[in-house]
Amino acid sequence: MAIESINPATGERVEVYEEHTFEQAREAIEAADRAFRGWRETDFGQRAERMRRAAELLRERKRDYARLMCDEMGKLLRDGEAEAEKCAWVCEYYAENARAFLAHEPIETDASKSFVCFEPLGAVLAVMPWNFPFWQVFRFAAPALMAGNVGVLKHASNVPGCALEIERVFRDAGFPADAFRSLLVRGSEMERVIAHPKLRAVTLTGSTPAGRAVARQAGERLKKTVLELGGSDAYVILEDADLEAAARACVDSRLINAGQSCIAAKRFVVPAAVRAEFERLYVAEMRRRRLGDPTDPDSDLGPQAREDLRDELHGQVERSVAAGARCLLGGEVPERAGAWYPPTVLTDVAPGMPAYDDELFGPVAAIIPVADEDEAIRVANDSPFGLGAAVFTRDRARGEEIAARRLEAGCCFVNAFVKSDPRLPFGGVKESGYGRELGPYGIKEFVNVKTVYVQ
């Protein structure tokens, strides 16, 4: 069978790739396991040399990779180049810091010597999404490979070219030929893939239903998992906030990657005292953003990644309006070829509407009116998700207290929109998953935390 890559801006075929059979996938996993036996014996200096070379290649090829991301999932060219740069950053970060993060930790006991060391597990399977087709992979791969593991990638079926290019980056950087392999297999094969005994752990970034399926399949085989799942991030706009700055930051976050980001702002919780002014500023800012050709430098957002995803988003908007939400901007499917959807603003959003209860994976903002700060915090936490959240206030101490103690999310920001950073742990709570990527915590997810006791 074949896997087609379709340009979402035009609906035209980009490329056709031959799907791997399960036998080919099995051989790739076993080759990765053989590569692990040698790779685990390398020292941090050898690993870092190759990882820095991977960073160099990402920067040298960033225009080509940006074009590939644009063609396969509709990302703006400038955003694709920035994504490749961020991947280079995470490679350099772990090349520089892995040795310190995984250094032996001495612990005083009644032994003559006792310490904790960190040993690699082996082949780690990464099940990755299409929305950040390079970044999502590299933020897993850089720490995993620097820890001495090897990687096997099952990428989203609409970005097969990206999957193969990522494999090539590691190969060209001097990693062992099978230390990172990409499998072009369909989701229906994943249970058999996960069951392979040479795969020691699984990490998934994707939807909550996909996370449940992978957690069940891996759990039945007692394999460690890290899950970064959906989000419906709430941004609380307090009465003392700088509303103009808040509106700009909220629009920037809502339209990242044409709204297709798990940590994009989705729900805007606004007290009655400033609701009208915030709505005016927010709608005006959204109206200024230009929907257009992702290859055009003047475009602010491109198409959705697939037409079926666009149609699902539009259905959520229609059902929310039917339930009583008001549409202040957008909300109509453009009459043009491709998976286009305009910047859209809904207000009077309430429980029972998709815009309140579900994740809106596209450029649709949900404004939720509340009476005061206490109700705003309650509404922000009234979600099955808990990936990111933000609060806007001129009182930084107040904002810090709300972020640290009152918002239920893995990443909480004050007067800024939520974003990932190689230096900071990233992940969620509740139905947004468990485990952490990035920072010193991320590299320790896929290691054996081993006690050594010497009498």
Q: Which residues have a catalytic role annotated?
A: 228, 262
What's the DSSP call for residue 426? B
Question: Is the Cβ–Cβ distance between 60 and 228 less than 8 Å?
Answer: no
Nearest in space to 246 (alpha carbons), one of 399, 382, 76: 399
**Residue 180 burial (10 A CB sphere; 0-12, 13-18, 19+):** buried
H helices of 102-239, where? 135-146, 160-172, 190-194, 208-220
Question: Is the Cβ–Cβ distance between 279 and 246 less than 8 Å?
Answer: no
Number of Cβ within 10 Å of residue 379's Cβ equals 21
Nearest in space to 318 (alpha carbons), one of 281, 265, 359, 355: 355
DSSP for 226-264, written as a single string: EEE----EEEEE-TTS-HHHHHHHHHHHHTGGGG--TTS
DSSP for 278-340, written as a single string: HHHHHHHHHHHSPB--TTSTT-SB---S-HHHHHHHHHHHHHHHHTT-EEEE--S--SSSSS-
Nearest in space to 408 (alpha carbons), one of 266, 231, 183: 231
Cα R_g (the chain), whole angstroms: 22
